[in-house]
Structure 1
Amino acid sequence: MIIYRDGQHEIHQLQRMIQKLQTLLDDLVAIGEGDLPSQDRLEEAPLIDNWHLATRQIVCLRGEISGHPRLGYAPHGITSDLWLLAPQRGFARTMSRYYRLGTNTE
């Protein structure tokens, strides 16, 4: 997640995030089209032993949401993963959509 304050540092962070997401998207599209990773590519990948599924916390916004396309009004709403927060600009971008930022309780 990036907190955007109109600076060069944030722009570089955003460019790196875009590149990572584009690479992920390209890989998922390829797999969806039946183009699985080659054995050579997998041999270069890190090995994870004794693995299991787990969960971890993600950054999101919680608050009173109104005008949501599916929820309408949610007095105790939680957004999807927060990717960019621009409080000076009055918006946030989650995995799913933009949000306008109202009052902040922090």
Structure 2
Amino acid sequence: MLLFNQHSEPDTDFERDFLRFSSLVADMDHIRHGVPPVTMAGDDAPLLDRWLLGNLLTPALVGLSTGHPALPGTNRPIATSQVLLMSADMSWARTLSRWYRLGRPAERSGLDA
């Protein structure tokens, strides 16, 4: 997840990740148009041998949703897709799927008391 400031210049981490995501989107567009991976990556792309497909935990939001286009209802419990961006003031979040306005954070239980 990337933190961003709403009213100031993005920092170097944000810029670095912006370029990485821009490159990913460009590659996805090439794939849509039939460009093979070897054309994009070249013959010197790293080889990953004896590999496994792993599942990593990714940040997501859980909470009560109102006004969701695919999950209708008021105060409906949901879990979002992967959170990719969050405003530094914690008022906005961009998941893989969409933007969310963030209301009040959940109150902590006695777990950390």
Q: Answer yes or no: is 1:14 the counterpart of 2:14.
A: yes
- TM-score, length-normalised on structure 1? 0.81
State the distance in 2 between where 1:87 and 1:104 align: 14
Change (3 A) 1:48 1:67: same
* 1:25-36 equivalent positions in 2, closer than 5 A: 25-36=25-36
Change (3 A) 1:102 1:35: same
The answer to whether the 8 Å contact 2:27/2:40 transfers is no
Runs of 4+ more than 4 Å apart: 5-8
Indicate the SS of the match to 2:67: strand
Q: Answer yes or no: is 1:86 the counterpart of 2:87.
A: yes
- TM-score, length-normalised on structure 2? 0.77
Higher share in strand: 1
> What 5-or-longer segments of structure 2 have no aligned partner?
109-113
State the distance in 2 between where 1:95 and 1:40 align: 24
The answer to whether the 8 Å contact 1:4/1:86 transfers is yes
Change (3 A) 1:27 1:39: closer
Change (3 A) 1:52 1:29: same
Q: Which residue of 2 aligns with 1:67?
A: 67
